Amino acid sequence: MLSRLLNFSLYIAISLVPIAAGGGVEMFADARVQIFALVCLAWALLESSLKPEQFARQCFDVAWVLIALFGVTSGIAIAINEYRYRAELLPRETWVAALGVGIAALGLAIRYSAIRTLGKFFSYEVKVQNEHRIVQDGLYKYLSHPSYTGFGLILLGLPLILSSWLGLMAMVWLTLVGFTIRIYWEENLLIQHFGDAYRDYQKKTKRLIPFVW
């Protein structure tokens, strides 16, 4: 229970503190910011409920904290400040916000489904576990890293809710660089462990984007 509370509190800090820092508590009176905050809360609930003991350990990992603070947090802060100061680089239309909510919701659903499919093999850490096997059920029939696909969609959807072009670019950069590095690191480990079995699986699936990569 304590681990879950720690996880939830950390995600709240990562996602909501930049909102207050970007424009003060009064920012929460804005309808779009309220929707943005609700999506962040849903994300926090999802992540904090997954593997609390493991996540609590990673809260104190320097590399993880740096990624969290200077990655997701900076992207959210950029989006909030752009929205606050009315830099209308993207059209501030309702349909743009609705598109952002839809993309983020799809990301949450994909990430939840992928992690549920992995079950005990899901880990925040890049490692091979006891009795580890290559999961090929559910979304893993089509993508080898669908949980990252979901994560990336969340990051792309959030700045769209606020019509933030700069925030969107920051999140795209974070997604491409961060996930590319982690995916290749993870795949090298799995190839070392499973050998040709994992190479055969790679031939049948894409990594993040169906039919593309």
pLDDT digits (tens, 9 = 90+) for 22-66: 555 666 677 888 888 888 888 877 877 765 555 555 554 555 555
Which residues face 206 on adjacent strands?
143
pLDDT value of position 80 = 80
Tokens representing residue 81 in the block: 């400040």
CA 76, chain centre distance (Å): 12
Residue 209 lies in a domain: no
pLDDT digits (tens, 9 = 90+) for 106-116: 999 999 999 88
Residue 59 lies in a domain: yes
Amino acid at 116: R
Q: Mean pLDDT over all residues of the chain?
A: 77
pLDDT at 103 over 90: yes
Instruction: Compute the distance between CA of residue 162 and CA of residue 91 in angstroms, rounded to an integer.
Output: 10
Residue 211 lies in a domain: no
Of 65-69, 101-105, 144-148, minimum mean pLDDT range? 65-69
CA 98, chain centre distance (Å): 19
Instruction: Compute the distance between CA of residue 61 and CA of residue 65 in angstroms, rounded to an integer.
Output: 6
End-to-end CA distance of the chain: 39
Instruction: Compute the distance between CA of residue 161 and CA of residue 164 in angstroms, rounded to an integer.
Output: 8
Residue 23 lies in a domain: yes
pLDDT value of position 10 = 53
Kindly state the greatest CA–CA separation across the chain: 56
Residue 149 lies in a domain: yes
Q: How many CB atoms lie within 10 A of CB 149?
A: 25
Share of the chain above pLDDT 70, in %: 69
How many domains, in total, are found in the chain?
1
Residue 17 lies in a domain: yes
- Count of residues in the chain: 213
Tokens representing residue 94 in the block: 């309702």
pLDDT value of position 68 = 56
Tokens representing residue 2 in the block: 């304590």
Of 99 and 68, more confident: 99
pLDDT value of position 113 = 93
pLDDT digits (tens, 9 = 90+) for 167-185: 888 888 877 777 788 888 8
Tokens representing residue 91 in the block: 């059209």
Instruction: Compute the distance between CA of residue 149 and CA of residue 134 in angstroms, rounded to an integer.
Output: 18
pLDDT value of position 6 = 47
Residue 50 lies in a domain: yes
- Residue span of the structural domain in which 34 resides: 2-204
State pTM to two decimals. 0.80
Instruction: Compute the distance between CA of residue 205 and CA of residue 183 in angstroms, rounded to an integer.
Output: 14
pLDDT at 2 over 50: no
136-144 mean pLDDT: 91
Instruction: Compute the distance between CA of residue 76 and CA of residue 164 in angstroms, rounded to an integer.
Output: 10
Domain CATH for 199: 1.20.120.1630
Query: CA neighbours within 13 Å on the CB side: how many for 2?
Result: 1
The highest-confidence range among 1-5, 50-54, 57-61, 202-206, by mean pLDDT, is: 202-206
